[in-house]
Chain A
Amino acid sequence: MLNNFCSPNLTCTNPKKTFRKSSRIILIRELIIIAQKIMKDFRLFDIYDFLTDDDFIRWVQEAKKEDNEFWNNWLAQHPDKHLTIEEARRILQILTPRKSAIDDLEKEIEVKKLLDTIGAQPIDQPEPRVLHISHNKKWWYAAAVFFIALAATISYFVLTRNATAGKFDYTSVTPSKQLVENVNSSANPVRLVLPDESIVELSAGSRIAYGNNFDSSQTRDVYLSGEATFTVVKNPAHPFRVFANEIVTKVLGTTFTVRSFNKDSIIQVTVRTGKVSVYSQENTSNSETGMPNQLGGIILTVNQELLYKKSNREFKKTLLQNPVVITRDTVDQKTMVYDDAPLEKVFAQLSKIYGVSIVYDNDLMKKCTVTADLRSEAFYRKLDLICKAIGANYEIIDGQVVIQSNGCE
């Protein structure tokens, strides 16, 4: 049974059922297999897509002639998928248990036993696998004609589609909106330049669309499915907005990443430089979901990240797993060697270098000093070392570092 046929961003119909082999229709069967595979876009498949795909599984496990031909051919055309497919094959080989077969004689005995029990006449030579079932000849011929026609139609569409093959396919997302769309179906990120000179780095398996009046409209609107990093040219008069499912990220001029694949349960917005405002398009009040609606917005600054859970509309503002240094001034970094330095100074520098806000009770902790070399440590490690030195704990609340301590002696 071939279900779940299509990668998330393609619309296609359900395939016809495959039919039992018979000398009349082996050709048809091959055509059907090819036709069905054409409707899927294996180029967008990651290793888990292959591992759960019925066609791929059948090829690895059964190595039928028509499957071998198809896949070897496809691999020749897409050598970039070699490694992924090799890895998938290996995992599949491990996952597929050896076929077991009960001894034929044993089976015969069981069958005889069964028939005895139900009081039927035992059959002389039970050969369950060899059964002749007659077909209506006319029906098969009709089906053959139909599938030849179907395959022909599909090949026509495939050929015309392949004529414009390349990294980017230009199709309109919705005919009602006049949109320009860019699709990245390769396995590597792709760099695009928008009409306003903003730069988009589009990740693998992602697509982005914008109106062809992009440059002249009040807001610079972009629609995203997948993941992209934006470096937006500053233009306060025309805010730049990224629509990813129900989350809208609005900026004036900055660098940030939005991740929103259909298969993800969480939408992620990460800020590298500048500031963005994130809000939900769901028109509900603050109290219901906690997420501000269009009128308000959560502000994300550098090294901060917003995680939005689609299922229950929960959101969380937090720091990046690995915050990056934002000052270009290397002098600041060099000074992160402390010898009995007052805590206030240490936190001030840390805050400045990473652009992260650190909240602590200055009065309570004014006796605390730090002796440590923090130059080559990652942000959280620096925090750990400082807190260890002064006997404090920290917590990330709402994208800020909050220090808890009882003070120092």
Chain B
Amino acid sequence: MLGTDLLKRLQQNDSGALAALMGLYYDDLHNYGARFTADEALVKDCIQEIFISLWQRRETADTILSPKFYLLRAIKNKILKSLHKNNRTAFPNKEYDFSYELSIEEIIIEKQVNEEKIQKLRKTIELLTKKQKEIVYLKYYHHLDHTQIAELMNVTRQTVYNLLHETLHKLRSLLKADFIAQ
């Protein structure tokens, strides 16, 4: 995989590899980071710091099995830590925001559903818990496996499985109710 090749080069003090890694994963990191906070500057700063840390520990870069997972975990931890510091909330405060919108545009165009139904669907989707949203995002956007998701969310694999299935069930019955006449 390209990422692991770059890590190998990184180990050999190749700063070009560091630049390449940032270019490769910047979008993903920004996409994930921006969901915890609207503070754009904070997200960018955190990404910088993560790559600086990575450079500092480049000697052991080959111990990183999945660079994408490693970086996603790093950005989440870093941003949440910063947010806690600023708010002076008691640590460890497990609560954090996670913004996630499901894309129903395609369905709307395809099926030409009326406005009322769309609103109902949007509202009900908003009722998904933050945990459910994050799990769905990590699985369907970043394609992480259940073990990785469990570690990122600090829950068991079983919980990931359960929450994921809950969400799928919910969505499915929602869609059935609204679109069954199609």
Contact residues of A with B, CB < 8 Å? 1, 3-4, 20, 47-48, 51-52, 54, 57, 61, 87, 90-102, 107, 110-111, 113-115, 117-118, 120-121, 123, 126-129, 131, 133
Contacts and interface: CB of A to CB of B under 8 A. Distances in A.
Contacts of A54: 143
B71 interface: no
Nearest to A118: B55
Contacts of B1: 20
8 contacts: A90-B175, A94-B106, A100-B27, A110-B48, A114-B51, A115-B19, A128-B20, A128-B23
A97 B19 contact: no
Given A48-B165, A51-B168, A93-B106, 5 more contacts: A93-B103, A94-B171, A117-B52, A126-B20, A128-B22
Contacts of A100: 27, 30-31
B95 interface: no
A90 to B, nearest CB: 6
B65 to A, nearest CB: 10
Contacts of B137: 97
A115 B15 contact: yes
Query: Per DSSP, are chain B's interface residues mostly helix, strand or loop, or mixed?
Result: helix
A129 B23 contact: yes
B152 interface: no
Nearest to B44: A110
Nearest to B8: A133
Contacts of A110: 22, 26, 44, 47-48
Nearest to A94: B102
A92 B140 contact: yes
Contact of B26 (A57, A102, A115, A118): A102
Contacts of A99: 27
B81 to A, nearest CB: 20
A393 B6 CA distance: 71
Q: How big is chain B's contact interface, by range?
A: 35 or more
B164 interface: yes
B107 interface: yes
Contacts of A20: 1-2
Contact of B141 (A87, A97, A126, A128): A97
B145 A3 contact: yes
Given A54-B143, A57-B140, A128-B24, A114 B31 contact: no
Interface string B169-182: 10110010001000
Interface in B32-68: 44, 47-48, 51-52, 55
A41 B23 CA distance: 39
A95 B22 contact: no
B107 A93 contact: yes
The 3 closest A-B pairs by CB, nearest first: A128-B23, A120-B15, A128-B20
B107 A94 contact: yes
B22 A111 contact: yes
Given A94-B107, A96-B103, A114-B52, A57 B143 contact: yes
Nearest to B167: A95
Given A1-B145, A47-B172, A97-B137, A114 B23 contact: no
A102 B100 CA distance: 18
A114 B29 CA distance: 15
Contacts of B48: 110, 113-114, 117
A19 B37 CA distance: 36
Nearest to A19: B1
Contacts of B165: 48
A113 B30 CA distance: 16
A294 B151 CA distance: 42
Contacts of B139: 52
Contacts of A91: 168, 171-172, 175
Given A47-B172, A91-B172, A101 B27 contact: yes
A123 B175 contact: no
Contacts of A123: 15-16, 19
B168 A48 contact: yes
A52 B166 CA distance: 13
B106 A129 contact: no
